[in-house]
């Protein structure tokens, strides 16, 4: 698709974010299984559920605009997922707490990518007068921020201290 307007950018980025979420979903579940801190594992599973919910909402918005959510492949998230697997799952750790600290690092990198995507989409939707879309995307953005804050609290509350 040729990009000639903000609406084109909006539609393109909806598909890109759906792809980013799809790619991150499996690795977040894997990180949740690999985490040894129970609160961290629980938060990662909740994060995976949030990603899945976000995918459904983005797919519904895509359908409303007569586009296929699978119409794009997000290369940015592809790299972040590769890094999460390499550093959080495939790396050799001699300390479980250090692994948990690395898992948080990798998860938050993926989350921050999603935050940027949702934030831009909210701004685009609102500028385009797609207020219903904007409200749905704002909800996704708020949920993603809450997940990020939870992860920071787990890191600073217990995981990083234990990993020292």
pLDDT in tens, 99-148: 999 999 999 999 999 999 999 999 999 999 999 999 999 999 999 999 99
Burial environment of residue 5 by CB neighbours within 10 A (0 to 12, 13 to 18, 19 or more): exposed
Question: Domains of the chain: which residue ranges?
Answer: 6-163
Please name the residue that has the structure tokens 């690795």: 27
pLDDT level of residue 2 (50, 70, 90 thresholds):
confident
| pLDDT, tens only, 25-37 | 999 999 999 999 9
8-to-4, 69, 122, 127 alpha-carbon distances in Å: 6, 14, 15, 13
pLDDT (average), residues 77-98: 97
Homologous superfamily in CATH for domain 6-163: Ferritin, core subunit, four-helix bundle (1.20.1260.10)
Instruction: For residue 112, give both structure tokens.
Output: 């921050």
pLDDT (average), residues 72-101: 97
Looking at residue 115, its pLDDT comes to 98
Residue 89's contacts (CB-CB under 8 Å, 6 or more residues apart) are 27, 30, 31, 34
Burial environment of residue 140 by CB neighbours within 10 A (0 to 12, 13 to 18, 19 or more): buried
| pLDDT, tens only, 16-26 | 999 999 999 99
Helix (H) or strand (E) holding 75: helix 75-84
Three-state DSSP state, 128? coil
- The pTM of the full predicted model, rounded to 2 decimals, is 0.95
């Amino acid at each position: 698709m040729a990009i000639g307007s903000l609406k084109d950018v909006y539609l393109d980025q909806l598909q890109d974010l759906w792809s980013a979420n799809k790619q991150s979903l499996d690795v977040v579940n894997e990180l949740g299984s690999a985490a040894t801190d129970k609160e961290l594992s629980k938060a990662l599973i909740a994060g995976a559920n949030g990603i899945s919910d976000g995918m459904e909402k983005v797919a519904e918005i895509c359908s409303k605009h007569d586009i296929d959510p699978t119409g794009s492949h997000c290369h940015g998230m592809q790299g972040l997922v590769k890094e999460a697997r390499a550093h959080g799952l495939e790396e050799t750790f001699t300390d479980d707490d250090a692994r948990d600290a690395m898992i948080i690092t990798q998860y938050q990198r993926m989350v921050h990518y999603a935050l940027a995507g949702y934030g831009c989409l909210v701004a685009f939707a609102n500028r385009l007068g797609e207020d219903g879309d904007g409200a749905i995307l704002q909800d996704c953005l708020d949920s993603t921020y809450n997940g990020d804050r939870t992860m920071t609290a787990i890191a600073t509350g217990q995981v990083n201290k234990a990993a020292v």
